[in-house]
Amino acid sequence: MNNPIIEVKDLYKTYYNGNIPLEVLRGIDLTVDKGEIVSIVGESGCGKSTFLNVVGGLDSTTSGQILINQERIDEMSENDLSYFRNRNIGFVFQFHHLLPDFTAIENVMLPYLTHQFDRKKASQLAMEILHQVKLDKRADHRPNQLSGGEQQRIAIARAIINNPGIIFADEPTGNLDEKTSHEIQELLWNLREKFQLTILLVTHNKQIAEQADRKVTLSYGKIERD
Ligand SMILES: Nc1ncnc2c1ncn2[C@@H]1O[C@H](COP(=O)(O)OP(=O)(O)O)[C@@H](O)[C@H]1O
Ligand SMILES: [Mg+2]
């Protein structure tokens, strides 16, 4: 590894249902280099989403260490972590989670406006990124006026407006047909080049999984293959 951007060390995550523990992640070690696209595959329920959420700082660890850009995010306070996430990590989910009453460009602007209240700069930046995802002409449309693939492209634009360096995508094409999935894949691969992104991608799409630089298979909360 010459330039690790994500380092996961002996990560455990246990959920409790009342007193009953459910060990979901059971000792995961993974290092990802800057600029890599890593796909994460495995059977439903094996812990893929949990892994992304914990490594991305959306959910807490039970034990182990997570370093992103050499910083221990598992030791950060809630405030520091949310600031760190906002600047360093973009998330894309299976369902776009765009705000229905906001236009495409307003949705893209939001993560920027949470740390810098400059509407003019935000809308300028958002427009540039909408151009990158080829939706600048749809800037003033609301999510329900866009197709599933277009909604997902807006969600990707929103994920990168703060120039995060890392994208965590959890089944970003899970809701899309084959052709649209392929378009989303091409977009992510292009954005990787353009913005030097590192991408961790959970997917059930075999073609996408195979075209990643690395494919990591999870099984019962452990890495089975890398
Ligand atoms: N917040 C939670 N509380 C309790 N159990 C959870 C929670 N999130 C996920 N789980 C459980 O953890 C296991 C792994 O879930 P998940 O990470 O979503 O798997 P995958 O994404 O691979 O399908 C499942 O058994 C799921 O029910
Ligand atoms: Mg999942």
User: Into how many domains does the chain fold?
Assistant: 1
- The answer, yes or no, to whether any atom of ligand 1 lies below 6 A from the CB of 46, is yes
Q: Which residue has the tokens 């995802």?
A: 133
The pLDDT assigned to 1 comes to: 58
In angstroms, what is the span from residue 170 Cα to ligand 2's centroid? 7
Flag whether pLDDT at 202 surpasses 90: yes
Q: Is the pLDDT reported for residue 2 higher than 80?
A: no
- Residues 14-69 have pLDDT tens digits of 999 999 999 999 999 999 999 999 999 999 999 999 999 999 999 999 999 999 99
Ligand 1 atom 6 nearest Cα: 15
The closest ligand to the CA of 45 turns out to be 1
Average confidence (pLDDT) over 131-146? 96
Q: Are 94 and 174 in contact (CB under 8 A)?
A: yes
**SS3 category, 41:** strand
In this predicted model, what pLDDT tens digit does every residue of 144-166 receive, in sequence order?
A: 999 999 999 999 999 999 999 99
Provide the phi-psi class of 64: left if phi over 0, else alpha when psi is between -120 and 50, else beta: left
Q: Please give the torsion angle defined by the CA atoms of residues 196, 72, 157 and 142, in that order, rounded to the nearest 10 degrees.
A: 180
* Distance between Cα 23 and ligand 1 center (Å): 10
Q: Say if residue 177's pLDDT is above 90.
A: yes
Ligand 1 neighbourhood includes 22 CB (under 6 angstroms)? yes
Take residue 65 and report the two structure tokens written for it: 């260490």
Residue 214 CA to ligand 1 centre (angstroms): 24
- Using a cut of 0.85, tell me whether the model's pTM lies above it: yes
Residue range of the domain that includes 217: 4-225
Probe ligand 1: pick from 15, 25, 201, 223, max atoms within 8 Å of CB? 15
Nearest-CA residue for atom 24 of ligand 1: 45
The pLDDT mean for the chain works out to 95
Residue 89 Cβ contacting ligand 1 at under 6 Å: no
CATH number assigned to the domain comprising residue 92? 3.40.50.300
